[in-house]
Structures are given as structure tokens and as C-alpha cells.
Chains A and B, each alone.
Chain A
Amino acid sequence: MEENIAESRSIRTDASEVIVRTFGYVVISIFALCCLLPFLLILGTSFTTESAIKKFGFNFWPKEFSTFAYKIVFENPDIIVGSYIVTIALTVVGTAIGLFLVAMTGYALQRPDFGYRNGISFFIYFTTLFSGGLVPFYLLVTQYLSLKDNYLAVLLPGLLSPFLIIMMKSFVRSIPHAITESAKIDGAGDFTIFIRLILPMTTPALATIGLFIALGYWNEWYNSMLFLSTNMEYRPLQLFLYNVVTSADFVRNSAAASNVSLRDVPLESMKMATAVVATGPVIMFYPFVQRYFIKGITVGAVKG
């Protein structure tokens, strides 16, 4: 049926249709290329010799091919593997706990028979309207919670967000309340209903929200930069990348361990190689889960 409509429409092609469509293909192609090329620029440069970079600048296609930068990055695999493990651990643990809490809170706040739902919803929502700002937050975490140089300072603040709880509420809203009610009549408690009935029914929502949380942890660098100092041996990947990108000394120090004379350290290509190593997994993984992110923005964006 849908095919038929599409066909019957494409039969009546006048000039305006052709113009619009051609324009669309051209503009979207250009835009898509603009989105892709910067990644190729980084990839290309990471495989270029330092001398070629000095001569020709950054390039999409390596003028002189070399894997030297990757060799140095992995020469001392301890640091980069450690960073990977820290990031993966933060992502897995944070996503598991965060997703469970978001789902539980979102479900409870969506129950029409929950007497305090409006009060608690506002309590959570208010934090997006008014905040203490960075300085008190920093003092809280470093002085009162004593979490400086502690991975918990990165893990804890990322667990929940009002945005995700609101998104969960909109997902739960599509499940008829009658299901909860009939389970209650059968004698099930609220928590049992949530675990045994609601969670299995909301798996697409959980996938979406879980991916949002996971992406947040993988790309996390802000709290890491605030609370984890450079004398920590293993830093989350994005902070590691930030240090490599912004500090030549940092690169020289980490390369010094691999018996390369300081003069020969390929500063520029090492930045790019580190970026490829830190970002690669996300880009490889992302096309397979893209549809969940699309679902998330269409559900959560317009109304909480």
C-alpha cells in the first residue's frame, strides 16, 4: 500500500519535483560530506609521518604513510589500556546503576495513584531551573565529600538527570495503568510490579535511556578534568585525550617511557592517533544503535 502511494506520486513528476529533489540530493550530500571529512582528516593525519605533516600540513590522505604514532601509543600499553579499563568500568557500572534508578523513579512518578508524584516531580525539575553553580559544587565534591582524585567523583554526578527521568516518564505513560491495577488486585507489590511487569515491557525505552547514559560516561571529560588531577595514573579516555591534545609535555613524558628521543616524538600524529583510539569504538558501534537515539529525541524532546 505504502509502495503504491510512493509510486503513484513519483509518476506525476513535473519540473518542480525534479528541481527540489535534485537540490535535496546535492545539499544533503554536501552536508553529509562535511560531517564525515573531519574524521577522515584525523584518521589520515594519524597515519602520516611527522616530517610530512611539517611539510604539507594535516591531510586526508597520508603523503608519507607511517604507523609510528600508533606504535608509541601502544609501546607503553599500560597507560592507554588502563584508561580504557577505567572508562569501560565507569560506563558499565554507571549505566547499570543509573538506568535502574532512572527507570524506577520514572515509573513511580508516572503512577497516577502515587500521592506525592507532583511534589517529587517538581523537586527534581526545579534543579534545572536553579542551581548553585560550579564553585559550590566543586567545594562540595572536593571538600565535603572528599572525592578529589576518586573515580566516584566522575561516576556519581552522571547517574541521574531530570531530562532522562522525564524521558522515562513519557515512555511509561504509553503503558496502560490497568496493567498495574490488575497486578495489584492479584496481590503484587509496587516494586514487584516494576521489576516483573514494567521493566520487561519497556525494553526499547531502557535501551534508549541506557545508551544516553552510556554515551555520557564514554564522552565524559568535564568532571574528570575538575576532580581527577594529572598525577592519577589511569585517567578516563577523554581526559587522557585532553591531556595529549593540550600538553606537549604530557605527550613527551608518556613517550619518554618508550625509548624515543624527545626530539623524535611525533607530537601531531600522536594527538590524532590517540583521538582515533579513544573515539573509534563509539563511531564503530553507533550506526547499530542509532535508531534508539532517534527514538529518544522524538519522545523526550517535546514534552516532559
Chain B
Amino acid sequence: MEKVLQTAVQSKTRTARDGRLRRFWNNKTLLLMCLPAIAFFIVFAYLPMPGLYLAFIQYNYADGIFKSPFVAFDNFRFLVINGDLWRLTFNTVVYNLAFILLGNVLQIFVAILLNELRRKWFKKVAQTLLFLPHFISAVLIGLIAYNILSYDYGLLNHLLTSIGMDPVKVYSNPHVWPFIIVITFLWQSTGYGSIVYFAAIMGLDNEIIEASEIDGANAFQRIIYIVIPWLKPTFIILLLFSLGGIMKGNFGLFYNLVGANNTALYSSTDIIETYVFRALMTNFNFSIGSAVSLYQSLFGFVIVITANWLVKKASPENSLF
């Protein structure tokens, strides 16, 4: 009896192992096709992760990673006490909220207006121009801002002095930078972002619009009672998705607009990415930089999970996992 059981268990484990092997064998080509990508993500995404151990040591170049003294949470304590962590979180989150909310509202606005236009050539030309800023590098964005804002030669001061006002020193006034950064972001992203909403409006059934016209709805009523409610699900989904990235900053935008060493503006323009970059390239403080990165990744992770949970509630078929 015992023997029978034993062989039964053995054959069961054998078939399980055989099944696993067979599964592997049947999938071998597809697995091989994925191998380069797996190797890529191991090297460039997973290998750096253990490096976050830097956040718990007092890294110095002479001792290297393994011999530098272990300090547990001292780096985090330092960041909390001197207020850096709070300032960075605040700046990163508030900028992103402004980008997401204003961005989506403006994208909807542009998409609805584009949809109302009838001249095809005008629509085409307008769209081409609206998308243009999306295709240029962050370096050029910085240069464009300099063209407009430069104290000596900028267009803004040129206009101000020509109407008899005093020129302004934009690059040393931290209070105006939130507006400049948000406006630049909207300038760059609104046209291209409006495509999603425009495509959603295209999916709106023509018969509904016609029925509303027969019922006597005018253009305002059509937009307010049909088009905008129609866009609401897309809006909510996109909003929740972007909320997942609320701890991630747009390094290229901030770095090129503000400049590498403009300390006068840090109070209102420093985000997590720029801070970590300076920790690495200017102050060579690898541990502090890693501590901020680890905080960003963990906090961001929790937010993505929450956002996904919300998406799942709002529309299950759109959730990520």
C-alpha cells in the first residue's frame, strides 16, 4: 500500500516536472525571441536596483560600496531635518498636478474646438503646427525660453521697454518660474496630447448628434451635454494613469529651462530629478542622491498601485494589472 502511494507520488512529481519541461520546450523559440529584451531589462533596469543600498551607507570613493560605513537611515533623517525632502516632494507633486490637470483640460478644449472646425486644410495646417513643439529636443526648449526671457536681448523685455515699462530680470526671480515652467509644458504638450481626445470625439456616433439637432440642441448644448460627457471616461482614465507618475519629474524641461547652476531659482524649481542629478554630478554625494531616489521609487510605487486600484473601480477593462 505504502509502495503504491510512493510510486503514485513519484510519478506525479515526474509528470509535473515533465510538464514543466515540455512547457519550456514548446515555448523555446518564443522564449529565445524574448531573451534580448529580458537581458536588456536585467542590465539597465534590474542591476541598478541593488545599488540603492547606497542610500544606507556613507559612501566615499576610497572605500567603495562595500567598505563604506553603514549608517542605516541617517541619510533620510538628514533629508527630513534640513527640509529638502519635503521641498522636493512638494515641488514635484504640485508641478505634476498642474501639468496633469491644466494639461488635460486644455487638451479637451483644443480637441473640441478642432472638431468644430469645418475647413479641412485649416485643420491639417493647424494640427501640424500644434504638434510641432512636441518633436523638438529639451535643449531647444531651453533656448527658446532664453530667446524670450533673456534680460539683455529677450523678446519680453523688448516688448516691455517699447511700451515704456521697465525690463524684468526673469532669471533671478523665483516667483515667476512656476508660471513659466507650466506654460512651457502646456505649450509643448497640449497639441499632441489633444489627439487622444480628438480620436475619442471621432468615435462619437453621428446619429446621436443628429438626433440632438432634430431635438433643437444648439452648438453650446451639443458640446456641454453630449461631447463633454462623452469624453469623461477617457479623461478619468488618462487622469488616473498620469497620477501614477506624479512622483516622476520631467528632468529635461526643468534642467534646460532653469539652467545648471542657477541657485537663485531652486526654491521654486528644484524637483527630485534635478536634485538627484546635482547630488551625482556636482556634489558627488552618491548616498544622498540614492536616498532621494529610493524614497521616490517607493512612494511612486504606492501611488501607482492606488491609482490602478482606482482605475479598476472606474473601468476594470482599462486597469494595468
- Interface set of A (CB-CB < 8 Å, partner B): 5-6, 9-10, 12, 14-17, 19-21, 23-25, 27-29, 31-36, 38-39, 41-42, 45, 53-54, 56-59, 101, 104-105, 107-109, 111, 114-116, 120, 122-125, 127, 129-140, 144-145, 156-157, 159-160, 165, 189-191, 194, 215, 218-222, 226, 238, 241-242, 245-246, 268, 271-272, 275, 278-279, 282-283, 286-287, 290, 293-294, 297-298, 301-304
Please encode chain B, from 302 to 319, with 1 for each CB lying within 8 Å of some chain A CB and 0 for all others.
Answer: 001000000000000110
In the complex, given contacts A38-B144, A132-B293, A219-B137, what are 12 additional A-B residue pairs having Cβ atoms less than 8 angstroms apart?
Answer: A24-B113, A58-B148, A135-B286, A140-B47, A159-B40, A221-B139, A242-B256, A245-B143, A275-B140, A290-B131, A293-B192, A303-B317
B126-155 CB contacts (< 8 Å) to partner A:
126-133, 135-140, 142-144, 146-148, 150, 152-155
Chain B, interface residues (CB within 8 Å), range: 35 or more
> B137–A238 contact, CB under 8 A?
yes
Chain B hits for A33, CB < 8 A: 129
B155-203 CB contacts (< 8 Å) to partner A:
155, 157-158, 187, 190-192, 195-196, 199
> B293–A25 contact, CB under 8 A?
no
The dominant DSSP class at the A interface is: helix
Chain A hits for B196, CB < 8 A: 297-298, 301-302
Cα A127 to Cα B304 with chains together (Å): 13
> A219–B128 contact, CB under 8 A?
no
Chain B hits for A123, CB < 8 A: 38, 41
> A136–B41 contact, CB under 8 A?
no
> A133–B153 contact, CB under 8 A?
no
> B293–A32 contact, CB under 8 A?
no
Chain B hits for A294, CB < 8 A: 195
Cα A156 to Cα B218 with chains together (Å): 55
- B97 at interface (Cβ–Cβ under 8 A)? no
Chain A hits for B317, CB < 8 A: 303
Q: What are 10 inter-chain pairs, A to B, with CB distance below 8 A?
A: A14-B219, A34-B187, A35-B187, A42-B140, A57-B153, A114-B27, A135-B289, A275-B143, A282-B136, A283-B135
Please encode chain B, from 36 to 61, with 1 for each CB lying within 8 Å of some chain A CB and 0 for all others.
Answer: 11101101111111111010000000
